[in-house]
Amino acid sequence: MRRSLPVVVLGSLCVVSIAQATTYMRVEKDGTKTYSDRPIPGGQPIDVKPAQGYSAPASSGNSSRPPAREADEFRYQSCGVTPENDSTFTNPEMVPIALVTNPGLRSSDTVIMKVDGQAVGQPGTTNYTMAAPVDRGTHTVSVTITDQSGKTLCSVTSAFHVTRPGLNAPANRPRPTPH
Protein backbone atom coordinates (compact mmCIF):
# COMPACT_ATOMS: atom_id res chain seq x y z
CA MET A 1 0.00 0.00 0.00
CA ARG A 2 2.84 2.41 0.84
CA ARG A 3 4.48 1.78 -2.53
CA SER A 4 1.32 2.40 -4.53
CA LEU A 5 0.67 5.87 -3.03
CA PRO A 6 3.76 7.51 -4.60
CA VAL A 7 2.91 5.91 -7.95
CA VAL A 8 -0.63 7.32 -7.82
CA VAL A 9 0.62 10.80 -6.83
CA LEU A 10 3.29 10.78 -9.56
CA GLY A 11 0.73 9.62 -12.15
CA SER A 12 -1.67 12.39 -11.12
CA LEU A 13 1.06 15.01 -11.50
CA CYS A 14 1.87 13.72 -14.99
CA VAL A 15 -1.77 13.95 -16.02
CA VAL A 16 -2.01 17.51 -14.69
CA SER A 17 1.20 18.55 -16.45
CA ILE A 18 0.00 17.01 -19.72
CA ALA A 19 -3.33 18.77 -19.41
CA GLN A 20 -1.56 22.11 -18.99
CA ALA A 21 1.12 21.44 -21.65
CA THR A 22 1.49 23.62 -24.76
CA THR A 23 0.61 22.04 -28.07
CA TYR A 24 2.60 22.80 -31.24
CA MET A 25 1.45 22.52 -34.84
CA ARG A 26 3.34 22.56 -38.12
CA VAL A 27 1.82 22.64 -41.60
CA GLU A 28 3.67 20.33 -43.99
CA LYS A 29 4.33 21.05 -47.71
CA ASP A 30 1.46 18.77 -48.75
CA GLY A 31 -0.97 20.63 -46.44
CA THR A 32 -1.19 18.04 -43.70
CA LYS A 33 -0.76 19.16 -40.13
CA THR A 34 1.60 17.69 -37.57
CA TYR A 35 0.85 18.12 -33.86
CA SER A 36 3.26 17.66 -30.96
CA ASP A 37 3.49 18.31 -27.24
CA ARG A 38 7.14 19.36 -27.79
CA PRO A 39 8.48 22.25 -29.88
CA ILE A 40 9.08 21.16 -33.48
CA PRO A 41 11.04 23.02 -36.20
CA GLY A 42 8.64 25.32 -38.06
CA GLY A 43 5.87 24.65 -35.51
CA GLN A 44 3.83 27.28 -33.76
CA PRO A 45 2.19 27.00 -30.32
CA ILE A 46 -1.58 26.72 -30.65
CA ASP A 47 -4.40 27.24 -28.23
CA VAL A 48 -6.30 23.96 -27.64
CA LYS A 49 -9.79 24.45 -26.27
CA PRO A 50 -10.78 22.28 -23.32
CA ALA A 51 -13.02 19.30 -23.96
CA GLN A 52 -16.72 20.01 -24.00
CA GLY A 53 -18.41 19.39 -20.67
CA TYR A 54 -21.93 19.32 -19.35
CA SER A 55 -23.39 20.67 -16.15
CA ALA A 56 -26.87 19.60 -15.13
CA PRO A 57 -29.34 22.44 -14.60
CA ALA A 58 -30.01 23.46 -11.03
CA SER A 59 -32.93 21.66 -9.41
CA SER A 60 -36.03 23.75 -8.84
CA GLY A 61 -37.92 23.37 -5.59
CA ASN A 62 -36.79 22.18 -2.20
CA SER A 63 -36.39 18.52 -3.09
CA SER A 64 -32.90 17.06 -3.04
CA ARG A 65 -33.81 14.73 -5.93
CA PRO A 66 -35.34 15.47 -9.31
CA PRO A 67 -39.15 15.10 -9.49
CA ALA A 68 -38.92 12.43 -12.22
CA ARG A 69 -37.16 10.13 -9.77
CA GLU A 70 -40.04 10.19 -7.28
CA ALA A 71 -42.28 8.33 -9.73
CA ASP A 72 -39.48 5.78 -10.34
CA GLU A 73 -39.24 5.10 -6.62
CA PHE A 74 -42.98 4.51 -5.95
CA ARG A 75 -43.80 1.09 -4.57
CA TYR A 76 -46.98 -0.44 -3.19
CA GLN A 77 -46.28 -1.54 0.37
CA SER A 78 -48.55 -4.51 -0.19
CA CYS A 79 -50.95 -5.85 -2.75
CA GLY A 80 -53.16 -8.86 -2.43
CA VAL A 81 -56.11 -10.56 -3.99
CA THR A 82 -59.13 -12.32 -2.55
CA PRO A 83 -59.96 -15.13 -2.38
CA GLU A 84 -56.75 -15.95 -0.57
CA ASN A 85 -54.43 -18.59 -1.94
CA ASP A 86 -55.59 -22.19 -1.37
CA SER A 87 -59.16 -21.21 -0.34
CA THR A 88 -61.87 -23.79 -0.98
CA PHE A 89 -65.50 -23.14 -1.95
CA THR A 90 -68.15 -25.85 -1.84
CA ASN A 91 -71.05 -25.51 -4.31
CA PRO A 92 -70.67 -21.74 -4.72
CA GLU A 93 -73.25 -19.72 -6.62
CA MET A 94 -70.56 -17.12 -7.24
CA VAL A 95 -66.99 -16.30 -6.21
CA PRO A 96 -66.13 -12.62 -5.62
CA ILE A 97 -62.59 -11.57 -6.57
CA ALA A 98 -61.02 -8.31 -5.38
CA LEU A 99 -57.68 -6.51 -5.47
CA VAL A 100 -56.45 -4.82 -2.28
CA THR A 101 -53.45 -2.44 -2.27
CA ASN A 102 -51.67 -0.36 0.35
CA PRO A 103 -51.51 2.54 -0.33
CA GLY A 104 -54.68 2.70 -2.41
CA LEU A 105 -54.47 2.26 -6.16
CA ARG A 106 -53.21 5.35 -8.01
CA SER A 107 -55.45 6.57 -10.81
CA SER A 108 -52.51 6.69 -13.24
CA ASP A 109 -51.68 2.97 -12.78
CA THR A 110 -53.10 0.20 -14.98
CA VAL A 111 -54.60 -2.98 -13.52
CA ILE A 112 -54.94 -6.18 -15.53
CA MET A 113 -56.92 -8.94 -13.79
CA LYS A 114 -56.95 -12.46 -15.21
CA VAL A 115 -58.93 -15.51 -14.16
CA ASP A 116 -57.60 -18.81 -15.45
CA GLY A 117 -55.35 -16.88 -17.85
CA GLN A 118 -58.17 -14.84 -19.45
CA ALA A 119 -58.46 -11.08 -18.85
CA VAL A 120 -61.70 -10.15 -17.09
CA GLY A 121 -63.44 -6.80 -17.03
CA GLN A 122 -61.92 -3.64 -18.43
CA PRO A 123 -58.30 -2.63 -17.82
CA GLY A 124 -58.44 -1.09 -14.35
CA THR A 125 -60.91 -3.65 -12.97
CA THR A 126 -60.28 -4.22 -9.25
CA ASN A 127 -63.40 -6.30 -8.51
CA TYR A 128 -64.90 -9.19 -10.45
CA THR A 129 -67.50 -11.85 -9.70
CA MET A 130 -67.32 -15.34 -11.14
CA ALA A 131 -71.01 -16.15 -11.60
CA ALA A 132 -72.80 -19.50 -11.71
CA PRO A 133 -71.97 -22.00 -12.83
CA VAL A 134 -68.51 -21.84 -11.28
CA ASP A 135 -66.79 -24.98 -12.53
CA ARG A 136 -65.26 -27.40 -10.08
CA GLY A 137 -61.50 -27.58 -9.91
CA THR A 138 -58.69 -25.17 -9.22
CA HIS A 139 -58.93 -21.61 -10.53
CA THR A 140 -56.10 -19.06 -10.69
CA VAL A 141 -56.45 -15.31 -10.30
CA SER A 142 -53.54 -13.07 -11.29
CA VAL A 143 -53.35 -9.30 -11.08
CA THR A 144 -50.61 -7.05 -12.46
CA ILE A 145 -50.35 -3.32 -11.77
CA THR A 146 -48.15 -1.24 -14.07
CA ASP A 147 -47.28 2.46 -14.15
CA GLN A 148 -47.55 4.76 -17.18
CA SER A 149 -44.16 3.64 -18.50
CA GLY A 150 -45.16 -0.05 -18.32
CA LYS A 151 -43.02 -0.84 -15.26
CA THR A 152 -44.59 -3.55 -13.07
CA LEU A 153 -45.35 -2.15 -9.61
CA CYS A 154 -47.20 -5.17 -8.22
CA SER A 155 -47.94 -8.68 -9.34
CA VAL A 156 -49.97 -11.15 -7.28
CA THR A 157 -51.41 -14.61 -7.92
CA SER A 158 -53.86 -16.72 -5.95
CA ALA A 159 -55.28 -20.18 -6.58
CA PHE A 160 -58.60 -21.29 -5.10
CA HIS A 161 -60.54 -24.53 -5.33
CA VAL A 162 -64.19 -25.26 -6.09
CA THR A 163 -65.69 -28.56 -5.02
CA ARG A 164 -69.08 -29.91 -6.03
CA PRO A 165 -69.59 -33.16 -4.14
CA GLY A 166 -72.31 -35.46 -5.43
CA LEU A 167 -74.49 -38.08 -3.78
CA ASN A 168 -72.25 -40.81 -5.11
CA ALA A 169 -69.08 -39.25 -3.73
CA PRO A 170 -67.52 -41.47 -1.04
CA ALA A 171 -67.35 -38.62 1.42
CA ASN A 172 -71.12 -38.09 1.24
CA ARG A 173 -72.39 -41.68 1.52
CA PRO A 174 -74.89 -42.04 4.30
CA ARG A 175 -73.43 -43.70 7.37
CA PRO A 176 -75.11 -46.88 8.49
CA THR A 177 -77.25 -46.40 11.54
CA PRO A 178 -76.31 -48.54 14.51
CA HIS A 179 -78.93 -51.24 15.49
pLDDT score, position 137? 92
pLDDT score, position 160? 93
Quote the CA–CA distance of 78 and 98 in Å, as a whole number: 14
pLDDT score, position 143? 93
CB 34 within 8 Å of CB 43: yes
Quote the CA–CA distance of 26 and 145 in Å, as a whole number: 65
Quote the CA–CA distance of 4 and 8 in Å, as a whole number: 6
pLDDT score, position 167? 67
Evaluate whether the domain defined by 71-163 bears CATH number 2.60.40.10: yes
Domain ranges (residues) in the chain: 8-46, 71-163
Ranges of residues in the chain whose predicted pLDDT is under 70: 1-20, 58-72, 167-177, 179
pLDDT score, position 66? 47
Quote the CA–CA distance of 141 and 89 in Å, as a whole number: 15
Sheet holding 44-46, edge to edge: 33-36, 23-27, 44-46
